[in-house]
Structure 1
Amino acid sequence: MKILSIQSAVAYGHVGNSAAVFPLQRIGVEVLPVYTVTFSNHTGYGQWRGPMISPDDVREVVRGVQERGAFGDIDVVLSGYQGGEGIADVILETVEQVKAANPSAVYACDPVMGNAKSGCFVAPAIPVLLRERVVPAADIITPNQFELGFLTGTEPSDLESTLAAADAARAMGPRTVLVTSVERPDRPEGTIEMMAVTDDGAWIVQTPRIPMKANGSGDVTAALFTAHLRRTGDAADALARTTSSVFALLSMTHESGQRELQLIQAQEHYADPQMQFDVQRVR
């Protein structure tokens, strides 16, 4: 499997491609990373250095990959945080070109906008752009519950409303929706869930909630779920494997006392997930 991943990169820590690439490689996926920024660290620190790469320069990198004849072998185009409006144009052009070269290729979009605690933390034009142009072109999307609500104009909370919102998102274009950070009001205290919804059904998995903010964990989640789903076509299995791997990664990070993901230290949990959580079919 080959994934063309258009995302940010940092020298210190793990977000964007700096979070997604290694776990994908560890499960045997060939990754072609294209960078949209090259920062010293993620912006959550409040201070960072390095350039945002212009859309034209990103386009040139993609064009160079295309000129090597690689597009016909690409199975997935993956995108995450989009820092500016111009990057969306590059991503959508790339998806169109890759699918022309390989009609079985899919586009997986993590529509990064914000979360329930912080609200939107992207430029005001980005959520509208994602909703109106990017998500309709995607085959797989991986929003959190807050982002799913914005995309669909709903307020998902309980199981039924979250399922309905996922269906509304699927009606926009993508056939698979992975809802991360599902927080149902009736869930047991100290837990959190993820839900996958496809044409074949819907599944949910519950884990203990680890009390920490982990920048980059969503990037790892989107990458692993997309790869597992693309490899097997089994959303329940992809959900189980991804949940196991990411929970282990977050547990090791929390135990380490470090702010940055312990991405390398958790590598065995990508290649050989413990599958310790039950995935329940809910539809």
Structure 2
Amino acid sequence: MAYSDQRVLSIQSHVVSGYVGNKSATFPMQVLGYEVDAINSVQLCSHTGYKVFQGQVLNAEELKTLYEGLKINEIDQYSHVLTGYVGSESFLKEVVNIVKEMKQKNPKTLFVCDPVLGDFGVGYYVPKELMPIYRDQLLPLSDIATPNQFEAELLADMTIKTEEDALKCMDIIHGLGVKNVVLSSTELAERDDTLLLLGSQLVGDKKKIIKLEMKKFDAHYTGTGDLFTALLLVWSHKHPDNLALACEKTISTMQVILKRTLDAAREIAGPGKKPNVAQIELRLVQSKKVIEEPPTDVVKAVVIEK
């Protein structure tokens, strides 16, 4: 297969119904013109917010077998590799081996890593043993890392209470070898109805700090982190030296999708009723046009050069 600069290997979870993991990430990247080959770390009937979530878990040997098949057929040429939820230590170690091999074969391969570990209010939702593998083996291979605030604190071994803390935290992650670090959402905004994205990009000997405020919706969504990382992969590839613009297009798209999802869920649930877990599934297919052409007037990033 001829090499393409818009071909992604995405390794993360899969659900039959709903939108998390590869189900949340694949469609937006395809809409934006990227070929996506998906390897599923787990395959479940639905995400874990439902009363039943059952299915299969891929092991490290099965992952190795799939990747070896791609190599034998000579269809293993990728411009990007994207990783999300992984549930076992052995599987994650095999992901490390694959990323290393891909970068050795083509040093221009870009690796976007969402170090999925957990979140506030939930704690870890993967084995704790995965954290040092991300920190010591996978993040040093990453071109972009997109931890949430909880994950960033674990990886940097520090607590984030202020913006200065967040900047220090991102510097620690830079120190692991990551050029672009984006804290996809933090609770550091001045208003309760607002979330703050913070990013840090190394360009030569300079560093650009990105700050972007976004509306916080009164709903519990799933798959938003997977959607965020997929969109950021595309827009940072299209705007390689402009992380601010990439984040603006990513968050603008997401804000429209989240509002559309919540409006539709409330309409289905009925007046005064809280939408249930099925009703609040992301409206991705209905948002094809906004994915292709993000609005320019929803959010605006502030850039500080250091």
Distance 1:7 1:239 in 2: 22
Verify: 1:248 aligned to 2:256, yes or no: yes
Tell me, yes or no, if the aligned pair for 2:139 and 2:178 is still in contact at 8 Å.
yes
Question: Residue 172 of structure 2 is aligned with which of 168, 172, 177?
Answer: 168
1:232 Cα deviation after fit: 2.0
Distance 2:34 2:260 in 1: 23
Cα deviations by residue, 1:41-85 (Å, 9 ceiling, x for unpaired): 1122242121111211111111112223233x3111110011101
Tell me, yes or no, if the aligned pair for 2:79 and 2:110 is still in contact at 8 Å.
yes
Distance 1:165 1:88 in 2: 23
Distance 1:64 1:190 in 2: 48
Cα deviations by residue, 1:114-173 (Å, 9 ceiling, x for unpaired): 112222222121223222322222221100011101100111122211111111111012
Question: Residue 291 of structure 2 is aligned with which of 264, 267, 270?
Answer: 270
Distance 1:98 1:67 in 2: 14
Distance 1:189 1:53 in 2: 40
1:38 Cα deviation after fit: 1.3
Alignment partner of 1:205: what SS? strand
Verify: 1:190 aligned to 2:193, yes or no: yes
Aligned residue identity for 2:113: C
Alignment partner of 1:256: what SS? helix
Q: Which residue of 2 aligns with 1:210?
A: 217
Question: Residue 247 of structure 2 is aligned with which of 215, 218, 239?
Answer: 239
Alignment partner of 1:173: what SS? coil
Alignment partner of 2:57: what SS? coil
Verify: 1:280 aligned to 2:302, yes or no: yes
**TM-score normalised by the chain length of structure 2:** 0.88
Q: Which residue of 1 aligns with 2:270?
A: none
Extract unaligned runs of 5+ from structure 2.
1-5, 266-278
Distance 2:121 2:42 in 1: 26
Extract unaligned runs of 5+ from structure 1.
none
Distance 1:232 1:67 in 2: 33
Deviant stretches of 4+, over 3 Å: none
1:247 Cα deviation after fit: 1.0
Aligned pair count reads 281
Distance 1:161 1:92 in 2: 29
Distance 1:24 1:102 in 2: 21
1:226 Cα deviation after fit: 1.4
Verify: 1:47 aligned to 2:52, yes or no: yes
Aligned residue identity for 2:295: Q
Verify: 1:115 aligned to 2:115, yes or no: no
Range moving further from structure 2, 145-154 or 88-97: 88-97
Larger radius of gyration: 2
Aligned residue identity for 2:195: I
The percent identity for this pair of structures is 27
Distance 1:89 1:179 in 2: 24
Alignment partner of 1:3: what SS? strand
1:199 Cα deviation after fit: 0.5
Cα deviations by residue, 1:193-229 (Å, 9 ceiling, x for unpaired): 2122111311111111111111101000011101211
RMSD: 1.4
Question: Residue 13 of structure 2 is aligned with which of 8, 15, 26?
Answer: 8
Alignment partner of 1:197: what SS? strand
Alignment partner of 1:108: what SS? strand
Range moving further from structure 2, 55-64 or 128-137: 128-137
Question: Residue 281 of structure 2 is aligned with which of 247, 260, 275?
Answer: 260
Question: Residue 65 of structure 1 is aligned with which of 62, 70, 74?
Answer: 70
